[in-house]
Amino acid sequence: MKKLAMAVIAGAVLLGGTVGAPAQTDAATKTYKNCTELNKDYKGGVAKDANVKNKGGKTKHAPFVSAELYKANSSKDRDKDGIACER
């Protein structure tokens, strides 16, 4: 049991602790075809910074914050509030 725990910890360290989340370098360069595709990876959409406020009211999920990813997909921010594809 102790060996299994050590193997899991070692695996997480090797992966950089990003299990289940897209890698930051991949996120910076990916442009999505539409909001449906973007929301598969980022359920709350993508915000250009942590201080933006959603104009549309309440949302179900918090947005992922990434200036580079937002810039690549800014055409999908229909209400121009700094969050692309929020829901």
Domain total of the chain: 1
- The C-alpha atoms of residue 28 and residue 37 are separated, in whole angstroms, by 16
Residue span of the structural domain in which 47 resides: 20-84
Q: Is the pLDDT of residue 52 over 60?
A: yes
At 17 the pLDDT is 46
Q: Please choose, from the candidates 41, 79, 47, 85, the residue with its C-alpha nearest in 3D space to the C-alpha of residue 64.
A: 47
Q: What is the CA radius of gyration of the chain?
A: 16
The per-residue pLDDT for 19 is: 44
In a domain, 61, yes or no: yes
pLDDT level of residue 56 (50, 70, 90 thresholds): confident
CA angle 30–52–38, rounded 5-degree value = 25
Q: Is residue 15 part of a domain?
A: no
